[in-house]
């Protein structure tokens, strides 16, 4: 169906001003934040801006009866082409459907529509002394719908886990337009083990099984205090060892971040005033909770880590914490400064490995960088083995771009070899599905069978997450 006819049909379901079919409008939806999207043009045939479950249901009924692909989209901050129309069809832009329907304080939960931005939700919850713990770096952009679909998390996943741990139930519009509520139709209980856990099935399903239109999420009491310890290491091996020492002492920090020597160098070039000490690694431990507990844990961490580190500083002073955090805060932007006129790309950027193999992963990624002739900067959430690698390349140099793709492939394969995953946070989308069989074995085929059962026409976000071929 051509773009104009498709738009005309969609205007029978939604007000005309919420159906976009102009070529410029559609082009605006042809990219997300991924490296892959820079070199490919995935222009949808139409874009719709639904504002109700009934509208989404109408679109899905139309799409399934005409076999038109549908791709849900939040803020487009994904790194994997997940929200792009790689097979054409309709993009469902849910970002404007952003109401916080209810904060049910007495039941410690909230109900939101998919387009609510993560940062705004937490600002709103702060008024009630509550928070939604998953904390992606894209907090000011990403939507709760996108977070649920990608099972996002962030640096505090070490203590609080990922989005999946906070989703109590979902309203989902299925590919045929029917609407289901997972987690109990009228349920407001925090515990519920009845039935198959469909909520978990949809969390992390990256839009391939249905459209998430309402989210019942668990909220937690906001911690009253926070503190930070920064430790500087002369040996990379000592950093993960120090993390284990802290765990073995019975302390679970809210975050444990690492900057290796490449990241330290990048930060100091980008913002010389931050002036991080030259070292093989810097660890930043964050502790949260009640003031007395935070103080005790922070001092204990400093005492433990001192045995392996060149220096450790512990503080609960707000300004000093902000100072200590600055290097970590800017590292993603700083990476590109290692090579003038070059860009940091998101490719192979997100592997996770067992804690026992973090050092090996960091070393081998550096070796791979040398092998492929690509500058890499390493940092990440060492507390749960989630390594962020920032390749820095000249995007105008096509030969270098090809080498960067080779590097990303090698990093993904390294993650699997080390007993980890190709993605700890950002998801699979259209850039990591080629590793699905290597990573999941026969379970990848079971995922395919679930998809076939729920979406026999393969209209929901085709070409994503599952091993390619045979769809």
Please identify which residue in 57, 86, 109, 150 interacts with ligand FAD, judged by CB under 6 A.
150
Q: What Cα–Cα distance (Å) separates residue 355 from each residue in 10, 73, 256, 358, 413?
A: 50, 33, 12, 5, 17
Tokens coding 310? 């060149």
How many residues bind ligand FAD, per CB under 6 A? 38
Element (H, E) at 232: strand 225-233
Please identify which residue in 58, 82, 327, 391 interacts with ligand FAD, judged by CB under 6 A.
82
Q: How far is the CB of 82 from ligand FAD (least distance, A)?
A: 3
72 lines the binding site for ligand FAD (CB under 6 A)? yes
Binding mask of the shown chain, residues 163 to 202, with x at each position contacting ligand FAD by CB under 6 A: ----------------------------------------
203 lines the binding site for ligand FAD (CB under 6 A)? no
CB-count burial class (<10 Å; 0-12, 13-18, 19+) for 298? buried
Please identify which residue in 137, 223, 293, 406 interacts with ligand FAD, judged by CB under 6 A.
137
3-state secondary structure of 183: coil
98 lines the binding site for ligand FAD (CB under 6 A)? no
Q: Could you tell me whether strands 90-93 and 70-73 are parallel, antiparallel, or unpaired per DSSP bridges?
A: parallel
Q: What Cα–Cα distance (Å) separates residue 185 from each residue in 60, 181, 188, 346?
A: 21, 6, 9, 39
Where does this chain touch ligand FAD (CB under 6 A) — which range of 14-22, 39-47, 150-158, 216-224? Answer: 150-158
Q: How far is the CB of 53 from ligand FAD (least distance, A)?
A: 11
The nearer residue to ligand FAD, 203 or 305, going by C-beta atoms, is 203
Q: How far is the CB of 375 from ligand FAD (least distance, A)?
A: 19
Please identify which residue in 153, 375, 422, 433 interacts with ligand FAD, judged by CB under 6 A.
153
Please identify which residue in 158, 212, 342, 353 interacts with ligand FAD, judged by CB under 6 A.
212
The nearer residue to ligand FAD, 146 or 383, going by C-beta atoms, is 146
Tokens coding 4? 């104009």
83 lines the binding site for ligand FAD (CB under 6 A)? yes
Q: Look at phi and psi of residue 13 and say left if phi exceeds 0, alpha if psi is from -120 to 50, else beta.
A: alpha
The nearer residue to ligand FAD, 84 or 361, going by C-beta atoms, is 84
Q: Which of 218, 86, 96 is nearest to 145 (CA)?
A: 96
Residue 30 to residue 51: CA distance in whole angstroms: 22
Binding mask of the shown chain, residues 374 to 413, with x at each position contacting ligand FAD by CB under 6 A: ----------------------------------------
Where does this chain touch ligand FAD (CB under 6 A) — which range of 152-160, 228-236, 274-282, 292-300? Answer: 152-160
Please identify which residue in 69, 136, 380, 463 interacts with ligand FAD, judged by CB under 6 A.
136
Q: How far is the CB of 163 from ligand FAD (least distance, A)?
A: 8
Please identify which residue in 44, 177, 207, 298 interacts with ligand FAD, judged by CB under 6 A.
207
Where does this chain touch ligand FAD (CB under 6 A) — which range of 187-195, 270-278, 423-431, 448-456? Answer: 423-431
E strands, 29-119, are 46-48, 70-73, 90-93, 100-104, 109-112
The nearer residue to ligand FAD, 251 or 330, going by C-beta atoms, is 330
Q: Give CA 360 to chain center in angstroms.
A: 24
The nearer residue to ligand FAD, 146 or 227, going by C-beta atoms, is 146
Sheet holding 211-218, edge to edge: 100-104, 109-112, 211-218, 167-173, 179-181
Residue 207 to residue 96: CA distance in whole angstroms: 17
Residue 378 to residue 392: CA distance in whole angstroms: 11
426 lines the binding site for ligand FAD (CB under 6 A)? yes
Where does this chain touch ligand FAD (CB under 6 A) — which range of 73-81, 174-182, 185-193, 409-417? Answer: 73-81
Q: Which of 432, 442, 386, 440 is nearest to 405 (CA)?
A: 432
Helices 318-334 & 261-270 angle (0-180, nearest 10): 100
34 lines the binding site for ligand FAD (CB under 6 A)? no
Please identify which residue in 46, 63, 90, 94 interacts with ligand FAD, judged by CB under 6 A.
94
Sheet holding 70-73, edge to edge: 19-20, 46-48, 90-93, 70-73
Q: Could you tell me whether strands 255-260 and 179-181 are parallel, antiparallel, or unpaired per DSSP bridges?
A: unpaired
Q: How far is the CB of 274 from ligand FAD (least distance, A)?
A: 19
Positions touching ligand FAD (CB under 6 A) are 32-33, 71-79, 82-83, 94, 114, 136-138, 142-143, 145-147, 149-150, 152-154, 206-207, 211-212, 425-427, 429, 461, 464
């Amino acid at each position: 169906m051509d773009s104009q006819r498709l738009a005309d049909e969609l205007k029978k379901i939604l007000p005309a001003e919420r159906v976009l079919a102009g070529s410029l409008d559609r082009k605006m939806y042809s990219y997300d934040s991924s490296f892959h999207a820079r070199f490919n043009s995935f222009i949808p045939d139409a874009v719709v801006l639904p504002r109700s479950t009934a509208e989404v249901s109408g679109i899905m009924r139309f799409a399934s009866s005409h076999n038109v692909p549908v791709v849900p989209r939040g803020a487009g901050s994904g790194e994997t082409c997940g929200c792009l129309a790689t097979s054409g069809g309709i993009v469902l832009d849910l970002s404007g459907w952003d109401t916080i329907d209810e904060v049910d304080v007495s039941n410690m939960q909230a109900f939101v529509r998919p387009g609510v931005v993560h940062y705004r939700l937490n600002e709103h919850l702060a008024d009630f002394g509550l928070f939604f713990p998953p904390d992606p770096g894209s907090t000011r952009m990403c939507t709760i719908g996108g977070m649920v679909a990608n099972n996002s998390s962030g640096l505090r996943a070490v203590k609080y886990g990922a989005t999946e741990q906070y989703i109590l139930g979902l309203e989902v519009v299925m590919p045929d337009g029917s609407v289901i509520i997972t987690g109990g139709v009228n349920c407001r209980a925090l515990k519920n083990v009845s039935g198959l856990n469909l909520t978990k099935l949809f969390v992390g399903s990256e839009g391939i099984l249905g459209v998430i239109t309402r989210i019942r999420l668990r909220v937690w009491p906001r911690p009253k205090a926070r503190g930070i310890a920064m430790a500087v290491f002369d040996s990379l091996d000592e950093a993960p060892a120090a993390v284990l020492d802290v765990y073995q002492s019975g302390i679970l920090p809210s975050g444990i971040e690492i900057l290796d020597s490449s990241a330290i160098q990048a930060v100091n070039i980008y913002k010389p005033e931050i002036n991080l000490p030259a070292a093989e690694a810097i660890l930043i431990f964050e502790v949260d909770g009640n003031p007395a507990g935070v103080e005790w844990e922070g001092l204990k961490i400093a005492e433990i880590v001192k045995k392996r580190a060149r220096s450790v500083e512990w503080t609960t002073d707000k300004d000093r914490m902000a100072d200590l955090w600055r290097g970590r805060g800017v590292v993603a932007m700083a990476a590109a400064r290692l090579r003038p006129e070059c860009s940091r790309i998101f490719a192979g950027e997100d592997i996770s490995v067992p804690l026992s193999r973090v050092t090996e992963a960091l070393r081998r990624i550096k070796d791979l960088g040398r092998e492929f002739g690509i500058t890499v900067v390493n940092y990440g959430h060492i507390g749960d083995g989630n390594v962020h690698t920032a390749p820095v390349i000249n995007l105008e140099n096509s030969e270098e771009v090809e080498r960067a793709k080779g590097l990303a492939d090698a990093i993904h394969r390294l993650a699997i070899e080390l007993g980890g995953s190709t993605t700890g946070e950002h998801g699979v989308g259209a850039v990591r599905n080629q590793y699905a069989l290597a990573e999941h074995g026969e379970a990848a085929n079971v995922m395919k069978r679930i998809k076939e059962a729920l979406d026999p026409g393969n209209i929901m976000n085709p070409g994503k997450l599952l091993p390619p071929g045979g769809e």
